[in-house]
Amino acid sequence: MLNAIVIENQKQGNESFQTQLHNVSEVNILTTLTTVNQSVEYFSEIQDADLIFSEVNLPDGLAFEIFRKIWVNIPVIFISCCMEFGPKAFENNAIDFLLKPVKTYDLERALEKYNILQKHFSKYSNPQLMPFSSWGNVSLKKTKLVVKKGIENVVLKLENIVMIYTENKVVYVTDNQGIKYISNKNLGELGRELDTSLFFRINRQYILNVNYIKSFKSFEKVKLKIDISVPIVKHPIIIGQETATAFRKWVQEI
């Protein structure tokens, strides 16, 4: 059964769409979200769905803002009454774009497209941890990252990067010598570009390199506390309950 999340701003329209969805496929709706802010808050803690169905227009902005604010590792089928949003959808995790009112044929086609992609990428040992934006380009793995140190552009090998994190809206990249650089890209963009066999985004603030994770242990029963081999930040690095499960699986499978 397909586990899905629906992002829709109108209750009546949402109920109608969910009924249509259940009529064409076996789908378990995990939750229904209604705004950009609510969705960002939800995905910062939980990313356990197979697919997202999202209305483009939400009360507090366009749904695309969700995927610019936070790295979401789940493919999306966007829905809108405006065709003009189509091209933008495919820049934000989309595998399809449906016009409202959604026709049953189009919905069936979109779900079939998801099933084909899912079967294709199931040959990878851990496809659910692969950023969806890299599907179809899995052979093109980034090996270096261009960052800034003052006015100088520095090319860092990914293997030498210990951590990428945000602080006061600035994205910092630190290497294994403890040197701090600045990236012009946000964590969402970097999370979609980096090799997930090497890097894991543990929360909204940190992306860690597995080669510099010294150990991890239980914290407050359901969370994890990470210890890295190169001391960079003084405060503890904590993984929330939902992400902790994915992290344990990732560490065991890489």
Residue 242 has pLDDT above 80, yes or no: no
**Looking at the domain assignment, is residue 219 inside a domain?**
yes
pLDDT band at 171 (very low <50, low <70, confident <90, very high): very high
Residues 101 and 57 in one domain: yes
Secondary structure class of 197 (helix, strand, coil): coil
Contact partners, residue 116, CB within 8 Å, separation at least 6: none
Q: Structural domain tally of the chain?
A: 2
**Looking at the domain assignment, is residue 151 inside a domain?**
no
How far, in Å, are 14, 65, 79, 174, 181 from residue 38 at the CA level?
16, 12, 18, 31, 32
Q: What is the pLDDT of residues 54-110, one digit of tens each?
A: 999 999 999 999 988 887 888 999 999 999 998 888 888 899 999 998 999 999 999
Chain position carrying tokens 């090497």: 198
**Looking at the domain assignment, is residue 119 inside a domain?**
yes
The pLDDT value recorded for residue 155 is 94
Secondary structure class of 198 (helix, strand, coil): coil
Residues 113 and 50 in one domain: yes
The pLDDT value recorded for residue 134 is 43
Once rounded to an integer, what is the mean pLDDT over residues 175-182? Answer: 93
Once rounded to an integer, what is the mean pLDDT over residues 219-224? Answer: 87
Once rounded to an integer, what is the mean pLDDT over residues 205-229? Answer: 90
The pLDDT value recorded for residue 13 is 54
Q: What is the pLDDT of residues 7-56, one digit of tens each?
A: 998 765 556 788 888 888 888 888 899 999 999 888 877 777 889 999 99
Q: What is the pLDDT of residues 112-170, one digit of tens each?
A: 999 888 777 665 444 444 444 444 444 446 789 999 999 899 999 999 999 999 888 89
How far, in Å, are 19, 56, 78, 211 from residue 84 at the CA level?
27, 11, 12, 44
The answer to whether 155 and 197 are in contact (CB under 8 A) is: no
Residues 200 and 115 in one domain: no
How do strand 161-167 and strand 170-175 relate by DSSP bridges?
antiparallel
The pLDDT value recorded for residue 57 is 93
More confident residue, 102 or 189: 102
CA distance 76 to 61: 17
Q: What residues are paired with 216 via a beta bridge?
A: 226
Secondary structure class of 191 (helix, strand, coil): helix
Once rounded to an integer, what is the mean pLDDT over residues 247-253? Answer: 82
The pLDDT value recorded for residue 128 is 42
Instruction: For residue 217, give the H/E element and its range.
Output: strand 213-219
DSSP string, 155-179: EEEGGGEEEEEEETTEEEEEETT--
The pLDDT value recorded for residue 109 is 92
Domain that holds residue 167: 163-171+185-253
Residues 84 and 200 in one domain: no
Once rounded to an integer, what is the mean pLDDT over residues 240-252? Answer: 81
**Looking at the domain assignment, is residue 228 inside a domain?**
yes
Contact partners, residue 158, CB within 8 Å, separation at least 6: 142, 143, 144, 145, 194, 195, 198, 199, 209
DSSP string, 30-97: EEEE-SHHHHHHHHTT----SEEEEESEETTEETHHHHHHS---S-EEEEES-GGGHHHHTTTTEEEE
How far separated are the first and last CA of the chain, in Å rounded? 26
Residues 79 and 129 in one domain: yes
The pLDDT value recorded for residue 11 is 61
Q: Is the pTM of this model over 0.75?
A: no
Residues 92 and 197 in one domain: no
